[in-house]
Chain A
Amino acid sequence: MQILQLLLYLILFPLIAALFILIVRRDSGRNMIVQISAIVIGIVSVVLLVLGWDKGTLIYSFASEPVSQIMFFIEIILAAFILYLGIKHRKSLTVVLILLQAMLLIWFETSMAGHLHVAETLFVDQFSIIMAMIIGIIGTLICVYSVGYMETYHLQHKNIRDRRGIFFGLLFIFLAAMFGLVFSNNLVWVLFFWEITTLCSFFLIGYSETEEATNNSFLALSMNLLGGVAFIAAIIYLAVSDPSGKLLGLNYLITSSKAIALVPAVLICFAGITKAALMPFSSWLVGAMVAPTPVSALLHSSTMVKAGVYIIVRFAPVLSGTTEGLIIALVGGMTFALASCMAISQHNAKKVLAYSTIANLGLIVACAGVGTYNLMWVAILLIIFHAIAKSLLFLCVGTIEQRIGSRDIEDMGGLIVRMPKIAIMMFIGMAGMFLAPFGMVISKWAAIEAFITAPFGLIFIAILAFGGSVTVFFWSKWMGKIISVMRNQTVIEGTGQKEKYGVLYILTGLVVVVCLIFPLISSYLIEPFVLNIYGQTARLAQANLTIMVMMLCLLMIMPFSLLFYRKPVTPAPPYMGGRAMDDSMHFAGSLGISRELVLSNYYLEKTFGEERLFMIGASLCWGLLLIAGILLLGVIL
């Protein structure tokens, strides 16, 4: 029972912490609670890993009825609150969707839920543990970072109402809901936590209460409510097709025959697609960047979108080999290729990160949709690597933004001189996203090797080849901007807020360390999990692993070569076609006018423009989803 207590603790403790955070009025007291709770949650999730990694799948049964009823009441109250907000802000779409959802829920609860008895309510397996580690370590690190960030945020934005109590409370509720989501076996519970994450992100995106923030938060809410409707539909379908309610247990549903599981799986995967912000729904995640940066970091790395891909990966065994699964994979693949292209045309650092997230989520869904054993292995690997690198990058951008007052990549020139620590950490984070031998490239490589043996794999290999090379472009030019050395720049790195930098150091360390120890993560957690489901598992060849580690070591040694060049040299001026240039980067232009040298990156709007590509992607993906819908209807009828 020890592990069950840990699970309950992880779900409930953040809630209690949130309660205290909401009650305590003084900043210092609240900050202390945030930090201590974060540490506690982190430690408990590590304890869960230590105790649970070798236990396989553990399923816990207890009387869930009273809890389910409480959940139902909470959902209805929240629905009423959303309804009120929707009417207040005149968001008709939200109102319609929340009414639809509430009606479906009430119908389900009154006419079906009575005789449903799902005994197995909570469970934990290796995949849940991995997710719990991501939530419990990266999620809490972001919370700790937020303490310093929000202090500065409110100093810099005096016009925004200081609601930090609610802010931090929501962060912890978010974490609790995520833990609940990955530990729940009862789909009704999964739905409850699913809706809680939707609402938390809604409130957090709208935190600044500006018009843009409110609109974007309602956009996110509507799209996720649409997914929620599909989720409820899946539950009702299951309740109708099996009145005993046994199928509502995730463990039964996944192992039952495709004839039964496919319809709910596709409906839930549709919900996953909305939550993971794949192509027709990608705009909500891009819009979500109006929120304070730690919120973006949280949404993009350890919560929210990861809930979406988590559920799709869970259903990968059901999807594998089906046309519907292939369609979902294609939606993911399209999203990967197009979102990568769209990132090229963006100046705004957070937007580039957002599109990169969308692209990677697309890749994960592509893997899960095809759903062979080695692709599931890749999908989980991608989730891990992406969470770490992306949270680091967002927090770095947040720090830079508060320091230089801009999140435009064009304003980040020479950051290596101005904020050397942040610049190096960003560098490592970006390398983690696209360079060998770091995480994302390992995953991309494994994905190519896995797709090649999968049915219709060639389509996805083509998507990977083109989309993957495009990512090189936007990351490298950003890197180039950071390291371009201009004259007359001074260090403006304020390292006053120690915990902020502490979090960044830890995340940077994680990017490198996880790269080194991923064979261990693979063989102790991912491989047993995949083996348990498919009866076979994937891994990278030992020889290649050795070479990767050697490359990583070489990459870490290379900077020491700078020691050979310590001899002071007078730097030459950059080549300017022979024109003289002074230290302030001014040169004598034509007609004797002194001009400043300003260099800007390529954004290639005409070729990779956001709107055009989004139109293409959205119409293609809507088309695909429509086909999937028609296929489903055929199955149901």
Chain B
Amino acid sequence: MIPEPYVSILYALAYVLVAPVLGGLIAGIDRKVTARMQGRVGPPILQPFYDVGKLFEKENPVVTVTQNFYVLSYLVFMVVAGALFFSGGDMLLVIFAFTLSHIFIVLGAYASYSPYSHVGAERELLQIIAYEPMIILTAVGMYMVTKSFFVSTIVASPVPMILLLPGVFIGYLIVLTIKLRKSPFDLSTSHHAHQEIVKGVTTDFAGPNFAKIEIAHWYECVFLLGVIWLFFAWNPLIAIAAIIIVYFLEILIDNTISRFKWQLMLRSAWIVAGTLGLVNLGVLYYLKMVVMP
């Protein structure tokens, strides 16, 4: 038996090493499925890796040198947030580290003073305020079930979380759509070519810097799907099935719904968090605190 601190360090290490591979594969499958939905053949599954490999070989044009710093910090803190999560750390701390990393990419976009990345940055911030309340409520919901903010405790809980937190789960799915940059919420930057602000926040990043953003997004994707695991943690098989179904749904939504304006995005995210999320938590609160304290 390995002592506990080492286990968590091993999990964190595994995340750091495996997550980009997994995230890249997911991105590849995503592109393939999307292509099939649109009646195209689509690129090979490994295409995202070829892309990133090629990006690293290119030169690194920047508008200002500080952009390098922001992108690197974005990547580093994204890895930190994910590693904290997979090592079983405190959910709230994970969320704050996650926000910190996003602030860095926003700052990078602001730094370049291009109108496209500027609008992208503003929209990215709107996305952050749209999704953050729901993520915090998700953590709070998991605390209410397990009496702990620590992922290690939450994941070990034998309670089928999804049955107690269905509203929170739906709220989280909305947030996931924002975070995975899927239509209708891909306002700040999009995987698709058809965006009115070119590439939004990432407009003025190219070459190795852009590759880092891609890798950070892979890390992010694995972390976000990891949160879904927590809802189904009592049964790993169901958890994997749930993640696959959820991701497929995200692709489907992405390809069938057109982009919202920010007002509608903010409103729908907040209303869902405020109704489904809060009502779910309220009921749970009532049950836990009043009915059987």
Q: Give me the interface of A with B, judged by CB distance under 8 Å.
A: 416, 435-437, 441, 445, 448-449, 452, 458, 461-462, 464-466, 468-470, 472-473, 476-477, 479-481, 483-486, 541, 543-544, 547-548, 551, 554, 558-559, 561-562, 564-565, 569, 571-577, 585, 597, 599, 601-602, 607
Cβ 8 A contact of B106, one of A465, A476, A597, A599? A476
The answer to whether A435 and B103 touch across the interface, beta carbons within 8 angstroms, is: yes
Interface centre among A479, A484, A544 (most CB of B within 10 A): A484
Given A485-B66, A544-B90, A574-B114: A462 and B278 interface contact (C-beta under 8 Å) = yes
- Answer yes or no: B145 CB below 8 A from chain A CBs: no
Given A448-B136, A565-B68: A575 and B106 interface contact (C-beta under 8 Å) = no
0 or 1 for each of B121-164: is its CB under 8 Å from A? (1 = yes):
11001101100111011001001100001000000000000000
Q: Is the interface of B mostly helix, strand, loop or mixed?
A: helix
State the Cβ distance, A582 to closest chain B Cβ, in Å: 14
Cβ 8 A contact of A484, one of B73, B84, B113, B198? B113
A-B contact pairs, 14 of them (CB 8 A): A448-B136, A465-B136, A473-B128, A479-B107, A480-B107, A480-B111, A483-B66, A483-B111, A484-B110, A558-B76, A569-B65, A571-B64, A575-B117, A585-B113
Q: Using CB atoms, name the residue of chain B closest to A566.
A: B65
State the Cβ distance, B71 to closest chain A Cβ, in Å: 10
The bracket for how many chain B residues form the interface is 35 or more
* Chain A residues near B203 (CB-CB < 8 A): 575
Within 8 A of A (CB), among B77-133: 77, 80, 84, 89-90, 92-93, 96-97, 99-100, 103, 106-107, 109-118, 121-122, 125-126, 128-129, 132-133
- Bound Cα distance A481, B63 (Å): 16
Given A445-B92, A477-B122, A558-B73: A468 and B132 interface contact (C-beta under 8 Å) = yes
Cβ 8 A contact of B143, one of A452, A481, A562? A452
Cβ 8 A contact of A544, one of B66, B93, B110? B93
Q: Using CB atoms, name the residue of chain A closest to B68.
A: A565
The answer to whether A472 and B110 touch across the interface, beta carbons within 8 angstroms, is: no
- If A484-B111, A558-B69, A574-B63 are given as contacts, then 20 extra A-B residue pairs at C-beta distance below 8 Å, sorted by A number, are A458-B281, A462-B274, A465-B273, A472-B103, A472-B125, A472-B129, A476-B103, A477-B122, A477-B125, A480-B110, A480-B121, A484-B112, A485-B112, A485-B113, A486-B113, A547-B84, A554-B76, A561-B68, A561-B69, A607-B266
Top 8 A-B pairs, shortest CB-CB distance: A480-B110, A436-B96, A574-B114, A469-B132, A465-B133, A572-B61, A465-B136, A485-B64
- Bound Cα distance A464, B90 (Å): 18
- Bound Cα distance A575, B117 (Å): 8
State the Cβ distance, A569 to closest chain B Cβ, in Å: 7
- Answer yes or no: B282 CB below 8 A from chain A CBs: yes
Q: Using CB atoms, name the residue of chain B closest to A469.
A: B132
* Chain B residues near A435 (CB-CB < 8 A): 99-100, 103
The answer to whether B137 and A472 touch across the interface, beta carbons within 8 angstroms, is: no
